[in-house]
Amino acid sequence: MKLNVVLFWVIFLIVPTRSVSQTNFIYKSLKEAAVVHPDSVRNLDLSKQKLTVFPEQILQYSNLESLNLSKNKLTKLPNSITYLKNLEVLNLSKNKFTIFPIPLCNTIALKKLFLGRNGISLLPDCIGQLKNLEHLDIWYNSISSLPSSISKLKNLKTLDFRGVNLSLKAQEQISALLPNTKIEFDLGCDCAH
């Protein structure tokens, strides 16, 4: 009887520890994530996979909180990315986006969005819908201005705008839109922007 009680407590104490550690585990491939129950996948790192199309299998991970798709060759995202209702961190840096992926405007749980080193030249008005966004990284894109709707992002703490050649006037205009946000600019120039 005592052995059963001891075994019960050992199992009881060990099992929660495993589930807690699983929530922080970073799966490095879809094959690796497929081995566990889809609800237990919270962090998925598919960087450097030479992906040209968004893998639809990702959508089965409804509890996904962090998705790293950096250093691939993606050019667009499907509308279905909005099914990832718990997605808080999305890294799309160093891909081939030339247009901001509009479906992202409806991923309202997003807190951190990394879009650096793409070919994006314009942020859409719908970016103002990302009410929970705290960090926006758009370094080394060809964005020269921001839509006025970005001022709706009251939770935005940091904006990485480095690697973009902006005039001091353009930097001032962007800063005025986001007075409570720490914005990282390169040194301003007296260029025509």
Residue boundaries of the structural domains of the chain: 38-184
Contact between 143 and 164 (Cβ < 8 Å): yes
The H or E element spanning position 4 is helix 2-24
Confidence label for 156 from pLDDT (cuts 50, 70 and 90): very high
C-alpha atoms less than 13 angstroms from C-alpha of 32 in its C-beta half-sphere: 12
**Torsional class of 163: left (φ above 0), alpha (ψ -120 to 50), beta (otherwise):** left
What's domain 38-184's architecture? Alpha-Beta Horseshoe (3.80)
Residues 49-92 pLDDT 10s: 999 999 999 999 999 999 999 999 999 999 999 999 999 999 99
Confidence label for 22 from pLDDT (cuts 50, 70 and 90): low
Neighbours of 17 (CB within 10 A): 9
